């Protein structure tokens, strides 16, 4: 099979480090996405994680040719120590050029070591590291401006047409201060759910599903940004770092051209009572091929002024 016409975009909620070792619905979905990526000859993977942010107005792209991996506690070490990263230095330079051309203060980081927000997902997607496509990791900006991160995704979106898979990895409901950690600390167990999640967690989990599945294209970008004003947002996200990769994903999948593509909640895993690891996919390989043909026959015509503002912030 040749390159896809337009790759999908994923927003994965990586959850706790236990998600690397535990058998979960989410882990099975990550593995399925990895198999699909290989079946469609994905050229490379461009990721924004939730554990790397730059100060001031800067962002960076990882250019370490031999990155190490930071410790991943509460799991059997061989699960990640034996898995070798496959960094994509050429695409990193390309991303820097694209971001620079769009006005970002961006530079390389030749010393960055990978963190479990990215390698946990990649190990589940590609258990055999020799099959993992080349990977580029883009940082967040620590001001956590949602418009800024939507624009990062929008800027890198053209890479989807070249066969790159764009992934944001963060968390849909991810407040470490509100998790119940006892079972994980004592027993390395995070999936017990011996009591129901609290109301704010259920409410924000539902709001996120509704936003993703009921909005497409530029509407998706606007609705995702609006989620940060949801009454339960601050309970669901104690800090903004795990929600910015969702903005990146919405930016990458929120063009007018993306209006024809369905966005789905594909899998979900609750951990530590109140953490909801929702796995979202925007578009699909098949849908993109179908849509490309339709788009040629009948181009879209409306530009959204609101999104023009968002995209230039």
- Residue ranges in contact with Fe ion by CB under 5 A: 50, 117
User: HSE-up of 22 (CA within 13 Å, CB side)?
Assistant: 20
Query: How many H helices and E strands in the chain?
Result: 12, 8
- Residue 60 Cβ, how far from Fe ion at the closest point, in Å? 18
Reference 27, options 150, 190, 138, 165; nearest CA is 190
Measure the CA–CA gap between 257 and 183, rounded to whole angstroms.
Answer: 46
Which of residues 14 and 94 has its CB atom nearest to Fe ion in the complex? 14
- Residue 173 Cβ, how far from Fe ion at the closest point, in Å? 12
**H/E element, 264:** strand 263-271
User: HSE-up of 290 (CA within 13 Å, CB side)?
Assistant: 9
> Sheet harboring 164-170: ordered strands across?
105-109, 58-62, 135-141, 44-54, 164-170, 9-13, 275-282, 263-271
- Residue 22 Cβ, how far from Fe ion at the closest point, in Å? 15
> Which tokens hold the place of 163?
């066969």
| Phi, psi of 157, deg, nearest 5 | -55, -40
Which of residues 50 and 223 has its CB atom nearest to Fe ion in the complex? 50
Which of residues 50 and 246 has its CB atom nearest to Fe ion in the complex? 50
Which of residues 52 and 104 has its CB atom nearest to Fe ion in the complex? 52
- Residue 185 Cβ, how far from Fe ion at the closest point, in Å? 17
- Residue 238 Cβ, how far from Fe ion at the closest point, in Å? 12
| Phi, psi of 102, deg, nearest 5 | -95, 10
Which of residues 178 and 261 has its CB atom nearest to Fe ion in the complex? 178
- Residue 115 Cβ, how far from Fe ion at the closest point, in Å? 8
Which of residues 89 and 238 has its CB atom nearest to Fe ion in the complex? 238
DSSP per-residue codes, 213-229 = HH--THHHHHHHHHGGG
């Amino acid at each position: 099979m040749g390159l896809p016409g337009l790759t999908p975009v994923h927003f994965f909620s990586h959850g706790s480090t236990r998600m690397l070792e535990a058998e979960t619905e989410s882990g099975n979905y990550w593995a399925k996405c990895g198999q699909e990526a290989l079946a469609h000859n994905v050229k490379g993977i461009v990721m924004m994680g939730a554990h790397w942010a730059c100060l001031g107005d800067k962002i960076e792209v990882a250019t370490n040719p031999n990155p190490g991996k930071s410790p991943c506690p509460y799991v059997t070490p061989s699960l990640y120590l034996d898995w070798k990263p496959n960094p994509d230095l050429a695409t990193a330079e390309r991303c820097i050029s694209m971001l620079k051309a769009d006005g970002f203060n961006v530079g390389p980081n030749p010393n960055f070591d990978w963190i479990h927000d990215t390698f946990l997902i990649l190990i589940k997607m590609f258990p055999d590291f020799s099959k993992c496509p080349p990977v580029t990791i883009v940082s967040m900006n620590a001001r956590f401006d949602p418009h800024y991160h939507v624009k990062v995704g929008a800027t890198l979106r053209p890479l989807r047409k070249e066969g790159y898979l764009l992934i944001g990895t963060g968390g849909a409901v991810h407040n470490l201060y509100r998790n119940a950690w006892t079972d994980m600390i004592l027993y390395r167990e995070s999936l017990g759910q011996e009591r129901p999640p609290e109301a704010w967690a259920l409410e924000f989990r539902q709001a996120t599903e509704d936003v993703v599945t009921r909005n497409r294209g530029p509407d998706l970008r606007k609705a995702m940004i609006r989620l940060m004003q949801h009454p339960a947002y601050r309970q669901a996200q104690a800090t903004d770092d795990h929600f910015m990769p969702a903005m990146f994903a919405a930016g990458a999948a929120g063009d007018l051209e993306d209006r024809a593509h369905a966005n789905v909640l594909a899998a979900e895993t609750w951990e530590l009572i109140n953490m909801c690891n929702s796995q979202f996919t925007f578009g699909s390989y098949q849908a993109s091929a179908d849509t490309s043909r339709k788009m040629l026959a009948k181009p879209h015509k409306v530009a959204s002024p609101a999104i023009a503002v968002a995209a230039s912030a």
